[in-house]
Amino acid sequence: MFKVYDIRLTNRLILGTAQYPSPEHLRQAVHRSQAEVVTVSLRREAAGPGSGQRFWELIQSMGVRVLPNTAGCRTVQEAITTAQMAREIFSTPWVKLEVIGDDATLQPDVFGLVEAARSLCEDGFQVFPYTTEDLVVAERLLAAGCQVLMPWGAPIGTGRGLNNVYGLRQLRAHFPEIPLIVDAGIGAPSHAAHALELGFDAVLVNTAVAKAGDPPAMAEAFAQAAQAGRLAFEAGLMEAHDLATPSTPEFGTPFSPWSGHA
């Protein structure tokens, strides 16, 4: 269990809701993963008249907490306006804040991100900033009022996993009490397990589930991987060594399960 903005969550997988083959695939993915939080974008493309309303009704029927996002926003004002619209539509102070600075990598504009985060926090929003693993940026976001950070693992939709393990490890070490959720670039359940093994609190996954051959099964796989990764972190992972260490001692009395029996 972990807490974000005084809300306790037990599932360490957050699901995105875009790109699924059908609404039923999305419904089943949420059900099989038992996700408690899903992200929803106001910029989601509508397939036809009224589809936006039908999509919102689907989300409401799942009984999950909604984390609206400002996906696609490239300026501070655009992100703020989108967040304000989301608060009205979804009746939540939560917002996943994205201010994109580069079209090729979709890397966050961290300068605009901090500015937008400060404005939204002052306006009563509970901001989940999509950021890099940079420690200084993290400090600025926390000072702006954010109480959770969402560093990328790799560029959005690439499925490359954790590109900068060293940087992510340092981020976790510097902010041991801050909820950290790896967002973007997660492509396989093993990537999710890796993030949780590093001590991160959760992962956000969209493309790797939605584009899978069987999205509901993949969503369940990610949920189980996140749970396993967290359990491994809490249990205490062994340290890596350069030289081999025998698991069976070379000296001493050999043990036989049949010793002492006729």
DSSP assignments along 77-119, one per residue: HHHHHHHHHHHHHH--SEEEE--B--TTT--B-HHHHHHHHHH
Pure H helices in 175-214: 189-197, 207-210
25, 96, 118, 191: the active-site residue: 96
Contacts of 25 (CB under 8 A, 6+ apart): 210, 215, 216
- The CA distance from 179 to 172, in Å, is 9
211 is catalytic: no
Contacts of 101 (CB under 8 A, 6+ apart): 74, 107, 108, 109, 110, 112
Secondary structure percentages of the chain, helix, strand, coil, to 5: 40, 15, 45
Which residue type does 48 have? G
Residue with tokens 């993290």: 138
Q: Which helix (H) or strand (E) holds 126?
A: strand 126-131
Catalytic residue numbers? 96
